[in-house]
Amino acid sequence: MADNVDQQPIETSKNGTENEGRDVVLSARDVTVGFGSKVVLDKLNLDIYRGEILGFVGASGTGKSVLMRTVLRLLPRRSGTIKILGQDFDELDEPERNALDMRLGVLFQQGALFSSLTVKENIQVPMREYLDLPASLMDELAHLKIRMVGLAADAADKYPSELSGGMIKRAALARALALDPELVFLDEPTSGLDPIGAAEFDELIANLRDSLGLTVYMVTHDLDSLFSVCDRIAVLGKKRVMVEGTIDDMLAYDDPWVQAYFKGKRARSIVPQEDAPAARAQHDSGK
């Protein structure tokens, strides 16, 4: 690694010391992903710590979804290592991979529910894939997840076409939680929701993190989510994680995109920049 020093992600020194000794649940090292001659991610490094909500941001087309899909083994990488919950999928046999997959939950953009299945049946898809449970128990578990995400009990027998955008997101979250995962991947969970629906969804994610002890990896463009529920933020730029840390670290980071994003007009409407830490503390205590 020594000959690579100038290529490592730029992290704040504060972040480096604060995270020492924390339990890393996802670790990406020198991950390179490309398509043909195009390199999208180049020796990217990222750590996600147990129990945190990490917001992953970056300009459109920088590779946020590509990284998530690579971590989930839906896309191949050219080099680098990825460890999830301390295990490298490449070193596991099939039963071990299945066991690790069961500890992960995924909410894809747009929810990605099966349109021909009811909400209950959608939630039961991972149960059928990984577990061998009697139908009555699967029904009970599906109803539990439906309650957990704040949907009414009668949503169970509805089809996705009968649900609002917010209900679809909640149903998709219920499916992501079907197997009681430890690490949950959320790809733009609040996109398409109105501000009130988005704030409620953020609150749900924070509550579930607290009550279930989840770790959350959330790709988002939603500044409200970043300010209100994310413990740390990682910014993707220049094909790697350019900076990771708290909102304060973002506000202090000297990069044109980061400055424009976190200090731009929309950000200013959420947190007054001249007193960002105090304003955020007030914002948090009002949640």
Residues making contact with ligand ATP (CB under 6 A): 35, 40, 58, 60-66
What tokens were used for 153? 């009990």
Q: How far is the CB of 234 from ligand ATP (least distance, A)?
A: 12
Q: How far is the CB of 149 from ligand ATP (least distance, A)?
A: 24
Q: Quick one: 34 or 51, whose CB is closer to ligand ATP? A: 34
Q: Quick one: 173 or 235, whose CB is closer to ligand ATP? A: 235
Q: From start to end of 181-239, where are the E strands?
A: 183-187, 215-219, 232-237
Q: What is the 3-state secondary structure (H, E, C) of 50-93?
A: CCCEEEEEECCCCCHHHHHHHHCCCCCCCEEEEEECCEEHHHCC
Q: Quick one: 44 or 276, whose CB is closer to ligand ATP? A: 44
CA dihedral 206, 212, 217, 220 (to 10 degrees): -30
What tokens were used for 34? 């490309």
Q: Quick one: 71 or 208, whose CB is closer to ligand ATP? A: 71
Q: Quick one: 40 or 206, whose CB is closer to ligand ATP? A: 40
A 10 A CB-CB count for 191 gives 15
Q: Quick one: 65 or 225, whose CB is closer to ligand ATP? A: 65
What three-state secondary structure class fits 158? coil
For tokens 């200013």, the residue is 268
Query: How far is 262 from 95, CA to CA, in rounded Å?
Result: 44
Q: How far is the CB of 153 from ligand ATP (least distance, A)?
A: 34
Q: How far is the CB of 12 from ligand ATP (least distance, A)?
A: 22
What tokens were used for 25? 């649940």
Q: How far is the CB of 267 from ligand ATP (least distance, A)?
A: 17
What is each CA distance from 108 to 40, 64, 122, 176, in whole angstroms? 20, 12, 14, 9
Q: How far is the CB of 235 from ligand ATP (least distance, A)?
A: 11
Q: How far is the CB of 184 from ligand ATP (least distance, A)?
A: 18
Single-letter amino acid code for the residue at 28: A
- Going across the sheet that includes 183-187, the strands are 104-107, 183-187, 215-219, 53-58, 232-237, 240-245
Q: Quick one: 35 or 265, whose CB is closer to ligand ATP? A: 35
What tokens were used for 18? 């604060």
